[in-house]
Amino acid sequence: MTTEIALSDIPGGRELIDWFGYVPRFHDANLLGINLVSDGPSSLRIHAFRINVLDKHVVVTVTLEAVIQVGLSDFNLPGIIFELSFSTVEDDIQLAWTGSYGVEGTIRAKQARIDLIPGKPV
Q: What is the per-residue pLDDT for 1?
A: 56
CA–CA distance, 29 with 108 (Å, rounded to integer): 20
Q: What is the per-residue pLDDT for 6?
A: 79
Domain count, the chain: 1
For 39, counting Cβ atoms within 10 Å of its Cβ (0-12 exposed, 13-18 middle, 19+ buried), the class is exposed
Structure pTM? 0.93
CA–CA distance, 72 with 34 (Å, rounded to integer): 11
Domain that holds residue 101: 3-118
- What's at 70, amino acid-wise? V
Q: What is the per-residue pLDDT for 3?
A: 67
Q: Which residues of the chain have pLDDT under 70?
A: 1-4
CB 22 within 8 A of CB 55: no
